[in-house]
């Protein structure tokens, strides 16, 4: 049984490496189509197609997680393990969980690298926000990397700084919500939307449709939070519906958004 676990673990590690290498290579090749040069002659990466990024994540999970989870459920009899190795990192009883943790770490790393391509510069970050990228999604990736790494990640400080910057920038967009009367800087976002590629516009539309469906269902704040509905896309939806042009008759909708932003931030910081 022990030899079987060892052989299967080695096979899975090799297979996982091949799959991830092919996915990363494909992603890198495709991303060259999005490369441009700025006015200083430096190469920059513009936002990739959000749909392609989600598809790549699904492909990785479908290719790796089922097998990894199956390994994680393997039970190795303690009798099959020499007593001298029970407390060692080489203990075969610990291998299934270690393999599963390693796969989850790889997937989190791939997600982070894909997201870096969509958040190069403030405009790209704003486009990502419009397409529904939420602080909680980034927090999950950050936590997975920290949790499943066998030691402190070499780029821990950079990951934390990038996350903190995104969160600060994200909630900074709600300042106008607390003015009297509440306002929304529509011109900036409309101009940014006009400059989007068709793929980005489609991602923007899908994010708005998702929020619209759930808001129209009358879901509670807790239900919206459980679905990780973007407070920013929610605010843009209200603007598109003319709520901020008629504040007096729409204060109930604005107050609901304020409550949601408050709850969302509280849970995020918890």
Which tens digits make up the pLDDT trace of 7-29?
A: 445 455 555 555 444 544 444 43
* pLDDT at residue number 199: 87
Buried b (16+ CB within 10 A) or exposed e, 37-48: eeeeeeeebbbb
Buried b (16+ CB within 10 A) or exposed e, 69-90: eebbebebeeeebeeeeeeeee
Q: Percent of the chain at pLDDT above 90? A: 40
Residues 6+ apart with CB under 8 A from 20: 60, 64, 106, 110
Buried b (16+ CB within 10 A) or exposed e, 184-196: beeeebeebbeeb
* pLDDT at residue number 246: 94
* pLDDT at residue number 150: 77
Whole-angstrom CA distances from 58 to 63, 106, 111, 138, 227 are 8, 14, 11, 17, 18
**Which residue positions in the chain have pLDDT lower than 70?**
1-95, 118-120
State the Cα–Cα distance between residues 261 and 235, nearest whole angstrom.
10
* pLDDT at residue number 137: 93
State the Cα–Cα distance between residues 60 and 62, nearest whole angstrom.
6
* pLDDT at residue number 256: 97
Are 52 and 30 contacting, i.e. CB atoms less than 8 angstroms apart?
yes
* pLDDT at residue number 245: 93
Are 104 and 150 contacting, i.e. CB atoms less than 8 angstroms apart?
no
* pLDDT at residue number 99: 77
Domain definitions of the chain by residue range: 1-31+48-118, 121-270
């Amino acid at each position: 049984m022990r030899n079987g676990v060892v052989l299967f673990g080695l096979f899975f590690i090799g297979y996982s490496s091949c799959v991830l290498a092919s996915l990363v290579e494909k992603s890198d090749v495709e991303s060259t189509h999005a490369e441009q040069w700025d006015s200083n002659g430096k190469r920059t990466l513009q936002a990739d197609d959000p749909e392609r990024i989600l598809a790549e994540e699904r492909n990785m999970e479908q290719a790796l997680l089922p097998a990894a989870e199956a390994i994680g459920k393997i039970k190795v009899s303690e009798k099959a393990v020499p007593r001298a190795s029970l407390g060692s990192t080489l203990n075969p009883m610990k291998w299934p969980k270690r393999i599963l943790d390693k796969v989850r770490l790889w997937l989190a790393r791939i997600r982070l690298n894909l997201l870096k391509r969509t958040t190069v510069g403030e405009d790209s970050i704003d486009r990502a926000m419009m397409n529904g990228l939420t602080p909680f999604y980034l927090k999950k990736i950050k936590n997975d990397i920290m949790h499943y790494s066998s030691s402190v990640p070499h780029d821990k400080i950079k990951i934390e700084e990038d996350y903190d910057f995104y969160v600060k920038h994200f909630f900074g967009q709600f300042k106008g919500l607390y003015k009297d009367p509440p306002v929304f800087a529509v011109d900036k976002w409309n101009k940014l939307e006009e400059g989007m590629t068709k793929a980005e516009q489609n991602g923007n539309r899908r994010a708005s449709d998702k929020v619209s469906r759930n808001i129209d269902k009358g879901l509670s704040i807790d239900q919206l939070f459980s679905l990780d509905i973007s407070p920013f896309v929610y605010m843009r939806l209200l603007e598109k519906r003319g709520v901020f042009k008629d504040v007096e008759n729409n204060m109930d909708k604005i107050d609901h958004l304020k409550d949601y932003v408050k709850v969302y931030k509280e849970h995020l910081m918890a």
